[in-house]
Amino acid sequence: MPARWLIRRLLLVSYTVLVVSLLVFGITQVLPADAAVALLGENATPEALAAIRLRLGLNDPAWLQYLHWLGAALGGDFGTSMRTGQSVAPMMLVALSRSLLLAGFALVLMLCIAVPLGIWAALRQGKAADMVSGMISYVGVSLPEFVTATLLVICFADRLQWLPATGYIPPGEDFAGSMIRLVLPVVTVSLMMIAHVARMVRSEMIDVLHTDYIRAARLKGLSGQRVLLRHALPNALLPVITIVALDVGYLLGGIIVVEEIFAIPGIGRQLIIAINTRDLPAIQAGAMIMALTYAVANTIADMAYAALDRRIRYE
């Protein structure tokens, strides 16, 4: 992978993040939240409000405020939370690490189920097994996370009492307890994507199985297993990488809901708390971190695609 291509990709990511920063800052500007009022409370005197506005630079023109904010953000300083008085960035990063744990497990689980399911459906194209898996997939796609989460909680936590319903324990404290509490959230998040990715693997696989090179591989007398795993699968999975990367956006959205339902103090839950309490620095930091995660995930996917598909020219 040429260094120039990588550099160009990274520049693109920076550009994306810059645009997002403008949007985020712009939106927080028009929010009906006055930072000074939020800090001092409803009963503050006009003099005190004016003083703090001056100190925070709230009277400066918007572009100057933006530059100040961006400069500090580049150094990793998103300001102090109006709710807790603590620095926002470390708080959000800890939350992000919890969310990434959840997202990572969900992605792995999803791939472990979706890829074999897609291959299986492709090999039984048009037969009953394919139809059933297709139907299950569509049900999975059409059920929102809060419905699946509720169903899972009712079934496994309430009725069967196999798993705890909600809560979060850091893996460092009680590893087993931590993992047990992650099961339901991970399953909820991955279910939605399994359906999507399995359908994608299926249709790509069907296309690949009809190509000349698969026909040629069969006519070489290669075993069915080798034709499938060595010749067909890599070609079928290539486009799936892009879909999975796009699904990361989906995943981030799903995580916000799932964290709220299962009371996991991840980035999504922090963001919701920040919005509810009009904690402007926390909203900005949370939104920026989400955007950066999405951009980085897509860049990684592009790199993986380029590494696997030799035909990609680095343009």
Report d(CA 297, CA 305) in Å as an integer: 12
Sole window of 52-60, 147-155, 163-171, 216-224 interacting with another protein (rule: CB under 8 A): 216-224
Nearest to 224 by CA among 204, 211, 209, 235: 209
Q: How far is the CB of 199 from another protein (least distance, A)?
A: 22
Handedness of CA 303, 308, 309, 313 (dihedral sign): positive
Q: Is 141 in the site for another protein (CB under 8 A)?
A: no
Q: Is 213 in the site for another protein (CB under 8 A)?
A: yes
Candidate residues 30, 160, 176, 219; the one interacting with another protein per rule CB under 8 A: 219
Report d(CA 49, CA 1) in Å as an integer: 55
Q: How far is the CB of 311 from another protein (least distance, A)?
A: 5
Phi, psi for residue 87 in degrees, rounded to 5: -65, 135
Report d(CA 128, CA 100) in Å as an integer: 37
Sole window of 143-151, 174-182, 191-199, 228-236 interacting with another protein (rule: CB under 8 A): 228-236
Q: Which of residues 280-309 bind another protein (CB under 8 A)?
A: 308-309
Virtual CA dihedral for 237, 243, 246, 252, nearest 10 degrees? Answer: -80
Q: Is 47 in the site for another protein (CB under 8 A)?
A: no
Residue type for 191, please?
L
For 305, counting Cβ atoms within 10 Å of its Cβ (0-12 exposed, 13-18 middle, 19+ buried), the class is: middle
Decide whether 30 or 219 has the Cβ nearer to another protein.
Answer: 219
Q: Is 314 in the site for another protein (CB under 8 A)?
A: no
Q: How does DSSP assign 162-173, residue by residue? A: -S-SS----TTT
Q: Is 221 in the site for another protein (CB under 8 A)?
A: yes
Q: Is 217 in the site for another protein (CB under 8 A)?
A: yes
Q: Is 220 in the site for another protein (CB under 8 A)?
A: yes
Q: Is 127 in the site for another protein (CB under 8 A)?
A: no
Task: Provide the CA 190 distance to its chain's centre, in angstroms.
Answer: 11
- C-alpha separations of 75 from 59, 70, 192 in Å: 23, 9, 37
Sole window of 31-39, 114-122, 179-187, 221-229 interacting with another protein (rule: CB under 8 A): 221-229
Q: How far is the CB of 219 from another protein (least distance, A)?
A: 5
Decide whether 235 or 284 has the Cβ nearer to another protein.
Answer: 235
Q: How far is the CB of 141 from another protein (least distance, A)?
A: 29
Residues that bind another protein (CB under 8 A): 211-213, 215-224, 226, 230-231, 234-235, 238, 308-311
